[in-house]
Amino acid sequence: MSDVVIRVENLTKEYRLGTINHGTLKQDLQSWWARMRGKEDPNSIVSHSSSHNSQQGLNPHFLALNDVSFDVKRGEAIGIIGRNGAGKSTLLKILSRVTAPTSGEVKIKGRVASLLEVGTGFHPELTGRENIFLNGTILGMKRAEIQRKFDEIVAFAEIDQFIDTPVKRYSSGMYVRLAFAVAAHLEPEILIVDEVLSVGDASFQKKCLGKMEDVSKSEGRTILFVSHNMTAIQNFCEKAIYLHKGHILEFGQTHQVIEHYLNDCISSASLVWQGSHEKNEFLRIDSVSIIKQENDKADLFITEDIKIKMSVDVFKEVNGIAFEIVVHNLEGIVAFSSFTETMTLQQGKAEATCVIPRDTLNDSHYTITAVISKDYSYWLVQINDALTLDLQAVPEGLGWQGDWPGIVRPRLQWHVDVDQ
């Protein structure tokens, strides 16, 4: 492989509808054993004899990845971008050996550390200190090596006084800080980072990006970085992969790939999202949509209110729930977020609506991420880029037609005193 440390060849991951993103270690072992015997995978592929699906005319398969191939060289920082459901997280899980591919091959040279989801790789009953040593051992490091890095990890994570507290009592922000510090400091040859960094505050995100840059450029390690923040991808990554519905649409220089992605986002503005697999044990987001008074017109103007509705199926009673939206511009910079008070949801259906007042957003393009959080501490369910808005300035004759600087352009109240 020479300088190639990651080689992906004809990689395909096929899920059975209804089990997407809910695989267990037991299911992965079943899948592996079936493939070893040349049998049908009981967890990833539905038999074509399924009478119900045949009668309903439904496709029982879902291709999260479809014939994906690429090489990554030592020391490269590769950004991975794409809309929600493009296959980004599935790709990283396969590269991290969290889940197995349906077909294809992955060759990796070197130790891999992954930061995929909040708490991944941590044992909740163990303390922060114990989890640092556990993760280092899993990476194949000796105790003396881990001890040498220990103080640096704790200082970076900024959790000194909580290092001997079980991590199940950590907030999501503390979880992420410690998880990133462990992954970045225990000297893996390959570091894989998913969108999970968005849970941290802005100053810590900047700190993480700086550390990743040092790891990549100064220490010659390889990084795969998934983010919806196009500015971070542009500044940090030399190359980028654009995934769309399981396919690689483009792999090349970052600025060209981002331009391709943004142009596609603009041309595919969507006022409705509907899905079936963004769920957990408590609830599922069924749909997110823009409610318009004039349903026959898709145009959105900055001078009209934007009403957003989130519909949810609740499987069992759950408390401490808050609905939230996060509004980004297409470069991934957060314009603002808004959330409800916490509440208890009963089994059944629930709807939440919010209104972005007129004259708040700019003449530009935005994406809206829908979120349901628990106790304001962690996100239960999130749908990145659920909606894409293409907002237009007011029609000719009703106001200024030029570009206004800034992500938003709120109409503020002014009072001017003039001495005559």
SS (H, E, C) 226-264: ECCCHHHHHHHCCEEEEEECCEEEEEEEHHHHHHHHHHH
Name the strands in the sheet holding 103-108, side by side, starting at the edge strand that comes first in the sequence.
Answer: 61-73, 4-16, 103-108
Average pLDDT over residues 265-278: 69
Residue 142 banded pLDDT, cuts 50, 70, 90: confident
CB proximity list for 144: less than 8 A, separation 6 or greater = none
Instruction: Give pLDDT, residue 54.
Output: 37
Between residues 399 and 178, which one has the greater pLDDT?
178
pTM of the model: 0.68
Between residues 210 and 319, which one has the greater pLDDT?
319
Between residues 301 and 202, which one has the greater pLDDT?
301
Instruction: Give pLDDT, residue 17.
Output: 57
Whether 4-110+189-265 shares its CATH topology with 272-392 is answered no
In terms of average pLDDT, the best of 282-296, 352-366, 401-415 is 352-366
For the chain, how many helices (H) and strands (E)?
9, 19
Average pLDDT over residues 175-188: 81
Residues 333-387: pLDDT tens digits? 888 999 999 999 999 999 999 999 988 988 888 889 899 988 877 778 888 888 8
Pick the CATH number of 272-392 from 3.90.45.10, 1.20.1260.10, 2.70.50.60, 3.90.1570.10: 2.70.50.60
CB distance 345 to 314 below 8 Å: yes
Pick the CATH number of 4-110+189-265 from 2.70.98.10, 3.40.50.1370, 3.40.50.720, 3.40.50.300: 3.40.50.300
**SS3 of residue 191 by DSSP:** strand
CB distance 370 to 283 below 8 Å: no
Of residues 134, 120, 195, 199, the one with CA closest to residue 379:
199
Instruction: Give pLDDT, residue 319.
Output: 92
Please state the domain extents for the chain.
4-110+189-265, 272-392
